[in-house]
Amino acid sequence: MTTKIAVFASGSGSNFQAIQEAIAHGEVNANIELVITDNPGAFVVTRANNFGIPVLELAPKTYENKAAYEAKIIEYLKEKDVEWVVLAGYMRLVGENLLAAYENRIINIHPSLLPSFPGKDAIGQAMAHGVKVTGVTVHYVDAGMDTGTIIAQGAVDVIEGDREGTEARVHTLEHALYTSTLKQLFEQ
Ligand code: GAR
């Protein structure tokens, strides 16, 4: 059975695109029913439009609180029969209602070897710390900041003094690791 997923993203959406391309090539047995962004106008919207995938652009500030914002999200996810939530550059903690609605069915990708460098700008944090090796982690999402059970990791050599080059390596690995992890998850 093809797994119905939603991808949440706040920015460029290169991971979303890698996942969609892997699906289109028959590598991942899933269908992206919906893209949700908390950042209306983000480049991920253009990417989703290019693939003809429905996008929901929500501005959290226009809701009374996180519960109301996520209630709207849950409504759309249920309407589309979404089974799994895939966070791909979604820069927001998931609240308790959404976690409860998708228990053990929300995953995230983070640009570091967790538990090192959780939170924002993980690549910048790693470079500022002077580590020689950083990487990428795919993990289940819990209520903490990048604290859920780790599913897969991969390492990247830092290019000293070259943020852009290091970031490019991280992104390349992210795209490969996320698609291979999703392939395995949805085969079971
Ligand atoms: C990715 O590097 C992802 O790991 C990171 O945001 C970037 C989004 O890129 N996520 C986090 O830092 C979450 N804590 P993309 O929009 O091109 O996929």
Q: Whole-angstrom Cα distance, residue 138 to residue 188?
A: 17
Tens of pLDDT along 169-179?
999 999 999 99
Domain enclosing residue 106, as ranges: 3-187
What total of structural domains would you count in the chain? 1
Tens of pLDDT along 43-78?
999 999 999 999 999 999 999 999 999 999 999 999
Q: Ligand 1 centroid to 9 CA: how many Å?
A: 8
Binding residues: 13-15, 66, 91-94, 108
Tokens 């604290």 correspond to what residue? 147
Residues near 73 by beta carbon (within 8 Å), at least 6 away in sequence:
36, 56, 58, 98
pLDDT band at 188 (very low <50, low <70, confident <90, very high): low
Mutational test site, ligand 1, from 7, 12, 15, 171, max ligand atoms within 8 Å of CB: 15
Query: Residues 151, 156, 158, 162: what is their CA dihedral angle, to the nearest 10 degrees?
Result: -100
Q: Whole-angstrom Cα distance, residue 15 to residue 21?
A: 10
Distance from chain centroid for Cα 43? 15
Closest atom of ligand 1 to CA, residue 88:
18
> Is the confidence at residue 4, as pLDDT, over 70?
yes
**Cα separation of the two ends of the chain:** 10
Mutational test site, ligand 1, from 7, 14, 32, 121, max ligand atoms within 8 Å of CB: 14
> Any idea what the CATH number is for the domain that residue 27 is in?
3.40.50.170
9 CB less than 6 Å from ligand 1? yes
Mean pLDDT of the chain: 97
> Is the confidence at residue 3, as pLDDT, over 80?
yes
Is 175 annotated as catalytic? no
